[in-house]
Structure 1
């Protein structure tokens, strides 16, 4: 049975894996799916219908708004925000209060193994590539390639990382990069990095 703190607010309509942990003051909304071995930290918010794959970690006070989709092994750092409204307004042009029918949510898709650093903001609609790393405090406004290392406001690519999350180093071959931690090599062709 899932480990759910008494102070967590978890909808009965949410689908929570038996091996997941939901910590104090977190909120998990209706139809959200939390996969196996996931950890949802203190005060985190998981929106209606959000999909969280297996082995994900969502740290304290992260805000994961619908319709976000997190593949397996995604790390969401403390106070990260995944937005869902590309043109946010409280009211319509005529001054009336916006209702749920007045906007269409757009999501952030985060692929397998990617890591989003503390206090980063991902402005939907975007896709974060597999195994990419977003540095703390970055504001991501465009799609991110697999294995990319992104930093800044707005975020720009400053390098490449391997599956171990360590910045890759150059080799004698300008099209090959190596992970200093694992020794694994990657091939760079036409701006796309793949495992060797």
Structure 2
């Protein structure tokens, strides 16, 4: 029977398997895990002269000598012979300073007990308040970043980088400082992300870059070799291969084709007060600076808009539209 404390999120599967295997090999009625950690002050592992577990002493019941000399602590991972455990549970009493029933007191009646020492003291951290929760979160975050770095991802500043466990990042991608990657985000290979970039539930293709100061919201898909520049925000938007959204733009509910250029200050007005509407920007389109695209609207392949245009009607392939509201002034010959 395996018993694990419920407030120990930093325990790894490898450590739990280590305890299980030791229990199976020893054939003892019980096995526990321990760590050496002079900074702790909770359940101390007290051994007898032969090195076997004698008892576990909780903080309130430890003597001054035990507090000063014993720095081996109980992790909260136990393996039991189930039938023996059931036989001995009734012998646990609450005759301690806390007036509580300690499961660890069962080891007074289950002998011998195998003790397995773990290498990483942080695995034994219990979460009893928000301070410890923050510490544990930071440790888990750093574990994830180390795994990414060992897998070929460059994390320029681990102290300021936050990546969820569900995020995937390709080899040779560089993550700049103050980057936050959340949810089911997928970043391709050889990308550059950041600094100051927030991406959630979005995909970025190989060899693309994003940032600084950019935000990709859920439902966004960025193709290969795409440039998303500073102060750009995209949501539920698809950007085709080799297209560019250089800076200071908002694209919501938009489909951008390949090799398109979105000028600075471009806005897709996707909400009409009731519904979210889509904008389509064709392959090779060139959107002039400060263009407003009032959805639903379509810019054809190779079309262009003049600076400051407000586009309320579709622009045909190869045509140029300018003005407020925009009018087609040149068509493809």
Q: Which runs of 5+ in 2 are unaligned?
A: 1-188
- Aligned residue for 1:72? 258
- Aligned residue for 2:269? 83
| Residue 315 of structure 2 is aligned to residue 144 of structure 1 | yes
Is the CA contact (8 Å cut-off) linking 1:42 and 1:59 kept in structure 2?
Answer: yes
Greater Cα radius of gyration, structure 1 or 2:
2
Which protein, 1 or 2, shows the higher relative CO under an 8 Å CA cutoff with sep ≥ 6? Answer: 1
Compare 139-148 and 1-10 and name the one that shifted more.
1-10
Q: Choose the corresponding residue for 1:34, options 194, 201, 222.
A: 222
- Aligned residue for 1:3? 192
Runs of 4+ in 1 over 4 A off after TM superposition: none
Is the CA contact (8 Å cut-off) linking 1:77 and 1:117 kept in structure 2?
Answer: yes
Q: Choose the corresponding residue for 1:113, options 284, 302, 305.
A: 284
- Aligned residue for 1:167? none
> Structure 2: how far apart are the matches of 1:113 and 1:8?
27
> Structure 1: how far apart are the matches of 2:291 and 2:268?
9
Q: CA deviation at 1:104?
A: 2.4
| Residue 249 of structure 2 is aligned to residue 62 of structure 1 | yes
- Aligned residue for 1:172? none
> Structure 2: how far apart are the matches of 1:73 and 1:82?
18
After superposition, what is the alpha-carbon deviation per residue over 1:66-113, rounded to whole angstroms, capped at 9, x for unaligned? x21111111100010011112x3xxxxxxxxxxxxxx32101111111
TM-score by length of 2: 0.42
- Aligned residue for 1:168? none
> Structure 2: how far apart are the matches of 1:153 and 1:46?
24
> Structure 1: how far apart are the matches of 2:261 and 2:295?
18
Q: Which runs of 5+ in 1 are unaligned?
A: 89-102, 162-176, 178-196
> Structure 1: how far apart are the matches of 2:279 and 2:286?
13
After superposition, what is the alpha-carbon deviation per residue over 1:126-160, rounded to whole angstroms, capped at 9, x for unaligned? 11110000011000000110000111000001113
- Aligned residue for 1:156? 327
Is the CA contact (8 Å cut-off) linking 1:69 and 1:108 kept in structure 2?
Answer: yes
